[in-house]
Amino acid sequence: MRWLWVMAGALATSSAFSGLNFSAADTAGDAAASDVAQVYETLVESTSEFQAALELHRMGRERAGKRRMDAVLAQLTRQGQVCVSLPGCDVARVFRAFQTLVRLQTLALDVAADDPLAGMVNRSREAPSGQHARDLRKPSSFRGKALKDVIVLNGPVRASITDWLTWMRPQLIEAWTNYQFLRHLMWPKYEQAGLPEALLFGILAKESVGRVHSYSRAGAAGPLQFMPATGRRYGLAADPKFDLRLDPKASTRANVEYLLDELSRHDNELEMALAAYNGGEGRVSRLAAKFPGQDFWSDQIYLALPSETRDYVPKVLAAAYLFEHPEEFNLKFPELPNKPALLKLDRPLSLSELAICAGQNGRQDGWFRTLRNLNPRLKPELRLRAGTELRVPAKLIEGYVSHCHNAELMARVAVAHDARFPVSPALVPYLVQKGDTLSLIAERSRCADIGDLATINAIAAPRYALKPGQMIKLPTCT
């Protein structure tokens, strides 16, 4: 963080003498305004240059990326000194941009971001910040303000709170449940960036309800629903074997970088950053440029956005508010046995078989969704070799030890499992229709997931592109 202190010191030193320049403001005229505009333009260019440096780092050129990042930060330090000397130049704007880039660099270069469960076998470990439900909802801050003070409880947000607590309550509780078991993979990135945990929960609840393998009709994927192009831009590169957008840790890192970019672009206005996340940064930036000084809730911007975005932003804010202040609306989130662990299989077993034999030990609705969320690269029907390590809740290990070694039970489980997932399903031709997506076809067929269909038909992830009139093969269940 050395650069941050250098920047702060430079600005403080320059500020001590800045009063000497103010009397010249009347005579500086257009020249001063032009210089200020140049400073702001440099901020935009620096953000793009820094993104390119991050991309170098992701591609394995760590030293070149680090040098380029340092050069951008040095340039911003100089711009901060210039800004202090210019009448009408917003020094805080330069400093916020600098802080954002420093946080991005910290995320990119953080060597302690490895899996917190690495090296653990059949042992549990406390997740960060404790496990008790009330400890997970301590009021947090956003840019120095309490999140409660940042979230405006206006009509749309209050209406969204009502929705979450009535017909959407099952989704809210499911999102909470899924998040508790994913927390140790997702929350550290938000904590490093200084972003509130409640915001992460609000986005997760609205985007996917915490279902890691969720795909939208538009092609967004994963717990935080990245579109293919945006995912690639933020390091969720295409891989024919696995869609990296489904990885909770990687998608959270990309989500943090995206939000920091948009917060920097929109002077830390949370609603505008969320609108960009849902409706596209291009559209939101054009509106912000067309109506300078107007916030998200103004008629000029709010009413110009698609209805989906007008619903999305207050829904995220409402879920975040409820995450921190459930008692205000008589809401009680369940306390869950979410301590993480690694389980080393001592016999061949699939995730499906493990979910069945482990039973409901600590979970009334079972462990299947949690197992899939924690192990997104594994197909649930794939029988894994003995010695395979799985991310699991520690509570599940009790069920594994108690029941998954019962020969009679496991014989019944294996027969049922193999009937559901035949080794060689029959394939039938299907003509792709207008409006079809691979996820919709998988949902209708019910015999294979999107990954199976992509493998059978050699369709590349993450776009899974189809064309009307294209002939593909579908597996049958009988």
Mean pLDDT to the nearest integer, 10-33:
45
Q: Where are the domains of the chain?
A: 2-109, 133-328, 340-420, 427-475
pLDDT tens string 82-140: 887 888 888 777 777 776 776 666 655 553 334 333 333 444 333 333 333 334 445 66
pLDDT tens string 170-205: 999 999 999 999 999 999 999 999 999 999 999 999
Higher-scoring residue by pLDDT: 443, 114: 443
Q: Evaluate if residue 420 carries a pLDDT over 90.
A: no
Question: Class of the 427-475 domain?
Answer: alpha beta
Hey, what are 76's tokens? 């911003």
Answer left, alpha or beta for residue 382, where phi above 0 means left and psi between -120 and 50 means alpha: beta
What distance in Å separates the CA atoms of residue 311 and residue 305, rounded to the nearest whole number? Answer: 10
Least confident of 24-33, 60-69, 295-304: 24-33
What is the fold of 133-328?
Lysozyme (1.10.530)
Least confident of 6-10, 19-23, 34-38, 150-154: 19-23
Q: Evaluate if residue 434 carries a pLDDT over 60.
A: yes
Hey, what are 375's tokens? 């192990």
Least confident of 44-48, 117-121, 145-149: 117-121
pLDDT given at position 77: 82
pLDDT given at position 114: 40
What distance in Å separates the CA atoms of residue 109 and residue 56, rounded to the nearest whole number? Answer: 12
Residues constituting the chain: 478
In the chain, the percentage of residues whose pLDDT exceeds 90 is 49
pLDDT tens string 246-262: 999 999 999 999 999 99
Least confident of 258-272, 371-385, 453-467: 453-467
Mean pLDDT to the nearest integer, 274-290:
95
pLDDT given at position 280: 93
pLDDT band at 13 (very low <50, low <70, confident <90, very high): very low
pLDDT tens string 329-362: 999 999 998 999 999 999 999 999 999 999 987 7
Peptide bond before residue 462 is cis, with ω within 30 degrees of 0: yes
pLDDT band at 7 (very low <50, low <70, confident <90, very high): very low
pLDDT given at position 37: 77
Sequence-distant (6+) residues with CB within 8 A of 71 are none
pLDDT given at position 157: 96
Read off the pTM.
0.66
pLDDT band at 55 (very low <50, low <70, confident <90, very high): low
* Runs of H (alpha helix) within 151-280: 155-165, 169-193, 197-207, 228-233, 248-265, 270-279
- Radius of gyration in angstroms for the set of CA atoms belonging to the chain, rounded to a whole number: 25
Q: Evaluate if residue 5 carries a pLDDT over 60.
A: no
What distance in Å separates the CA atoms of residue 315 and residue 69, rounded to the nearest whole number? Answer: 36
pLDDT given at position 238: 67
Higher-scoring residue by pLDDT: 38, 33: 38
pLDDT given at position 351: 95
Q: Evaluate if residue 25 carries a pLDDT over 50.
A: no
Mean pLDDT to the nearest integer, 63-72:
76
Higher-scoring residue by pLDDT: 141, 351: 351
Q: Give how far Cα 326 sits from Cα of 56, 128, 168, 330, Å.
A: 43, 22, 15, 6
Higher-scoring residue by pLDDT: 246, 420: 246
Q: What is the DSSP string of 203-249?
A: HHHHHTTT-TT-B-TTS-BTTTTB-HHHHHHTT----SS--GGG-HH
Higher-scoring residue by pLDDT: 17, 68: 68
| Within this chain, domains 133-328 and 427-475 share the same CATH topology | no
Q: What is the mean pLDDT of the chain?
A: 82
